[in-house]
A and B are shown apart, each in its own frame.
Chain A
């Protein structure tokens, strides 16, 4: 299927065009922008990103690992230190805290890669170096007979040019 890429100057134009396209049933679209803009994100997909689940799982895993590691290792070869119990919670809380942050952070990075579909070996055919400049792109996958309609739709929403990319 061919892809139409509309090029925009403002995030508002993109958001309006995306809302309109989705309303007309063209939901196979990708928006490229040089920076994050809330209005675009709301128009494309208002649901919060799933990265948060990764952070939560990582953090919980970290705190459990922290206490498990310290307590098990202290009991595996028990030595009395400073008259404290073998499994001594207050000092181990420091380790558990650090591991919560560490695992949470690593899992958040994994979340970014998984949700953002990174690393990608090839860039999309609709992508252009202009989108890492100051312009925005809306790439819509359409069937042959809808090309004219989507072209007109993008232009009516302040797309300053529209390019057709072969599938």
Chain B
């Protein structure tokens, strides 16, 4: 421990006895201060390889043009848009956990909110890559922003694609602010306990935070207000993404249920991804006493709820297709399940609607390997959900003469795989650079408990 600065001053009434380090600090700091192990290095290496593959393919695509993708008329929204929507969906868990559960005073979120927020940011970054990849002429991507230009020509604010630009950019910035504000007190903890480049980095990022009562009060207010702002935001972002589809007249897209359906799906996939990542992380870094089975069980309850909503939406889509009596709508939905894309459709229905229903059983909710397997299936199922919506929708529009078929080209899949590497690499670096558990928030509970247990004199934190 760094000696307290008070020691350096001239006059002291009494010598300072050494104080034991806070166990919470020690546990969490260990995760990011320890030298990276072999497993971490191997994973980073693997991800770098995947990233290199994806990046090289993208560069090749920029050089050759979008023709290298598997697009064929009338399907020009393919794996890139599917993966874009997938990553935006993943990005919803973090803000939900930190904002909505904060407003509901669900204290159990403390153990997971930092990692979930980090995943949110990395998932939004990954999603934004796909906007650049999908538009093809990346050097003209700034056309989507309203910027003053010589032709005095402005963007079309009536287009849902532009709403999306605003929604995603806002979401990125607000998530980043939220993440950073929560991190500042923990960075100060790290600053006080490190040396060398880490001290410089944490010192700069901690902004001179000292935990004065004035700072804490402002911090509490800030978190409250950011939660209040982020709650409608998180619900709006995937609604806006869904309107990219719902505003078009394509059969299978033009439905009012899309916004809530997409939001539930986003929370569903986001929680599944958080669990898929945090189960191995907890095991590797030995965080079982902070991130307990209780936290995992609470998250599986969310999965159960959102799976039921998503399953209901699947059912209602089919019901409305039949009930509306619209020929194109009926055909589109019939061909989803029994047409050329039946595998994707049944993956989506079973992995998202049926398998998570196993969480009704407490024994399965608390069995960590089962949770891990089901969450992985959900991740796959949710990717296929977007694939089904986008590809079957576009391939079976009104006029059978212009029906088409699309299969993702290996180049597209290389880029999709690269995006998973990009996300993982950011998360792996995060694990070794920042506290994965919000130390101050956990400490607040620890000190509270201690104060109630024995008024602080004798009771230890553990």
User: What is the interface of chain A, defined by CB distance below 8 A to chain B?
Assistant: 2, 5, 9-13, 30-37, 40-41, 44-45, 48-52, 55, 59, 69-70, 73-74, 76-77, 79, 81-82, 84, 88, 91-92, 94-95, 97-99, 101-102, 104-106, 108-109, 111-113, 115-135, 151, 161-166
Of the candidates A41, A84, A105, A135, the one whose C-beta lies within 8 Å of that of B213 is: A41
Interface residue tally of chain B, by bracket?
35 or more
6 closest Cβ pairs, A-B complex: A120-B208, A128-B4, A129-B192, A35-B444, A119-B207, A10-B456
Contacts of B218 in A (CB 8 A): 49-51, 111-112, 115-116
| 26 intermolecular pairs with C-beta atoms under 8 Å apart | A13-B456, A34-B211, A37-B216, A37-B444, A48-B221, A49-B220, A51-B218, A69-B146, A73-B154, A76-B154, A77-B152, A81-B158, A95-B166, A108-B229, A109-B222, A112-B221, A125-B9, A127-B5, A130-B19, A132-B192, A161-B16, A162-B13, A163-B6, A163-B13, A164-B13, A166-B9
Q: Interface 1/0s, chain B 108-135, versus A by CB < 8 A? A: 0000000000000000000000000000
Contact with A along B193-224 (1 / 0, CB 8 A): 10000000000000111111111111111100
Chain A residue contacts of B229, Cβ below 8 A: 55, 59, 101, 104-105, 108
Q: Are B157 and A101 in contact (CB under 8 A)?
A: no
Q: Is the CB of B166 within 8 A of A98?
A: yes
- Name the A residues within 8 Å of B233 (CB-CB): 98, 101
Task: Tell me which of B156, B217, B236 contacts A45 (CB under 8 A).
Answer: B217
* Minimum Cβ distance to chain B for residue A99 (Å): 7
Closest B residue by C-beta to A104:
B229
Residues of A close to B9: CB separation below 8 A: 125, 164-166
| Distance, CA A104 to CA B170, complexed state (A) | 11
Asked if B266 is an interface residue, CB under 8 A from chain A, the answer is no
B141: Cβ under 8 A from any A Cβ: no
Determine whether the beta carbon of A84 is less than 8 Å from that of B158. yes
Whether B157 pairs with A95 at a CB distance below 8 angstroms is yes
- Bound state CA distance, A51 and B181, in angstroms? 13
Residue with the highest number of chain A CB atoms closer than 10 Å, among B218, B441, B443:
B218
Q: What are the residues of chain B within 8 A of A84 when measuring CB–CB?
A: 158
A83, chain B: closest CB distance, angstroms: 11
Task: Write out the residue numbers on chain A whose beta carbons fall within 8 Å of the beta carbon of B207.
Answer: 113, 118-120
- Decide if A101 touches B213 in the complex (CB within 8 Å): no
Q: Quick one: given A36-B219, A95-B163, A163-B6, are A116 and B211 in contact (CB under 8 Å)?
A: no
Taking CB atoms, residues of chain B closer than 8 Å to A37 are 216, 444, 447
Kindly identify, within residues 333 to 347 of chain B, every residue whose CB is under 8 Å from any CB belonging to chain A.
Answer: none
A33–B213 Cα distance when bound, in Å, is 7
**B17 contacts the other chain (Cβ, under 8 Å)?**
yes
Chain A residues, CB < 8 A from B444: 35-37
B189 within 8 Å of A (CB atoms): yes
A133 CA / B6 CA spacing, docked (Å): 15
Q: Which residues of A contact B153 (CB under 8 A)?
A: 77
Contact among A11, A77, A125 with B154 in the assembled complex (CB-CB below 8 Å): A77
Complex Cα distance A113/B3, Å?
28
Partner of A164, one of B11, B166, B174, B209: B11
Q: Are A124 and B210 in touch, CB under 8 angstroms? A: yes
A74 proximity list for chain B (CB < 8 A): 154, 157
Selected from A9, A11, A111, A126, the residue in CB contact (under 8 A) with B222 is A111
Chain B residues near A112 (CB-CB < 8 A):
181, 218-219, 221-222
Chain A contacts for B35, CB-based, 8 A: none
Q: Which chain B residue shows the least CB distance to A10?
A: B456
Contacts of B25 in A (CB 8 A): 132-134
Is B158 touching A44 in the complex (CB atoms < 8 A)? no
Min Cβ gap A160→B in Å is: 9
What CA separation (Å) do A118 and B177 show in the bound complex?
15
Set of chain A residues within 8 Å of B3, measured between Cβ atoms: 129
**Chain B 1-34, CB within 8 Å of chain A: the 1/0 string?**
1111110011111101101011011000000000
Q: Which residue of B lies closest to A165 (CB)?
A: B9
In angstroms, Cα B2 to Cα A74, docked, is 60
Compute how far the CA of A44 lies from the CA of B447 in the bound complex, rounded to whole angstroms. Answer: 19
Most buried by B among A52, A104, A163: A163
B5 pairs with A36, CB closer than 8 A: no
Contact (A134, B446) CB under 8 Å given A112-B219, A116-B215: yes
Residues of the B chain whose Cβ atoms lie less than 8 Å from the Cβ of A120: 207-208, 210
Docked complex Cα distance between A111 and B217 (Å)? 12
> Which of A51, A55, A105 is the most central at the interface, judged by chain B CB atoms within 10 Å of its CB?
A105
**A84 vs B247: C-alpha distance when bound (angstroms):** 15
The answer to whether A91 and B208 touch (CB under 8 A), given A133-B21, A164-B13, A166-B9, is no
